[in-house]
Amino acid sequence: MSILAINRLAANSRVIAFDTRLQARSQVVDIYSDLPGVYNRENESFPKNAIMAKVKDQSTSKSVITLREAYEDEGVYGTTAAVGTEEMPKTKTAQTFQNTWRKVVGKPGYGLRKLEAEDYKLYEQNEEGVTMWKKEDKGYAIRKCLVETFSPNLLVGDTSTDCVAQWNMNIFIPTLGIFDQPEFDSDRATHTNNICEGLVAAGGFDQYTARTLTSTVLEDISNYALAKRLLPLTIPGLPTGEGFVLTVSEIQAAYLTNPIWTSNNLGSLWKDITQQSDTVQKWRGTIGSYNNILIICDPRVPMLLPGGSAEPYSLSAGYMVWNSRDARFRNRKHAKDLAILHGRGAYISVEGEPEHWIADERDYGMHQGLGIAGVSGEQLPIFADEDDADDVVNMTSALILLDIPNQGTLSSL
């Protein structure tokens, strides 16, 4: 006679093994943790080797930086009388803003819910989790201001009247002439129409290889920066020792480094990372340089999505946000990849109240809250004439609208 089969213990009575080490999802790296600098209020200068100009001494919601324009009128020659020809100094001002931000999480102070998670040490990791969130939030805020002028916290509350989202005034679309690029307008809807009409003039909203990164496009970007009089960074290893940082998506980086992708091969002017100086090699994400442009791969670079067949057009920005959540438009037919050209002090970061820990509790400590807070703001340094809203200058950055030919309509392949 055989032994009877042994029945399993009732499901709810079985011992369950579990790994007490909580796993963390991998996060996409953020390149903006490098290249900080401090704005010098005494001589009103931006740091020459940094894409971020940090303002540390602002104690109000709003402050002003003044730009003095160079003299532009002709002189007086020969015996012509000089009286009455005097040229007066002209200035423009840029306003810097900051606003409160907070991130809070909850945890049980005691009781059953704390016991249930105790083996995992779930709530003990709150501090680490909040710190990681802030790093991603900072990167999102920087990209948001480079694309739409202001970081998200400046668009609400006490600073919302002064800070209204507006596209970066320097927009470059490949295949258009340097002086045929979309014209800036202080009205966002008008500026949106100008950008979309520029895309239409360059072939439409579909995807074209001519609007990816090639040697021709990089040369045009370099000339565009010169025409816009953007302030170059000090970059050891480039031909003149100064130039610009161009952040591109991993898709554009693949196009750029693939010798068979287009006929515009980069040739001997392309310098890969192994040929750069030690200083440049330490910059996160660097893949190489071309002429006076240092190229960095940024897998978090934003995207734009144009829409409409006539005015009024629509234009939306998509970003990679917290927990590396991709809120861009990579599966959309007309999505446009952005490359961001950074000059000296490409954006201003104000920090009146440094990041610090905050806490709260209720019901005799059974419900507790932990978080971080501060007062800060990221924005483009836009210098404007007080009497003319459209007489503005952005000397530090530009957006390059690029196509993704393996997405949507393969019009030119």
CA gap 254, 246 in Å, rounded: 15
Domain residue ranges of the chain, discontinuous segments joined by +: 31-71+88-158+348-385, 171-346+394-402
Give pLDDT tens digits for 114-155: 888 787 777 778 888 888 899 999 999 999 999 999 999 999
Q: Is the pLDDT of residue 263 over 70?
A: no
- Predicted model pTM: 0.84
Cβ contacts of 348 within 8 Å, gap of 6 or more: 39, 52, 53, 54, 55, 94, 96, 378, 379, 380, 381
The whole-number pLDDT of residue 283 equals: 62
Pairing of strands 397-402, 171-172: parallel
Q: Residue 124 has what pLDDT?
A: 78
pLDDT digits (tens, 9 = 90+) for 297-316: 899 999 999 999 999 999 99
Per-residue pLDDT tens over the stretch 10-49: 676 555 555 555 554 545 566 675 444 443 444 444 556 6
What's 31-71+88-158+348-385's CATH class? alpha beta
Distances (CA, A) of 355 to 29, 118, 139, 229, 340: 21, 29, 15, 35, 27
pLDDT at 91: 76
H helices present in 184-294, as ranges: 188-201, 215-227, 250-257, 278-281
Say whether pLDDT at 408 is over 60. no
Q: Residue 392: pLDDT band by 50, 70, 90 thresholds?
A: confident
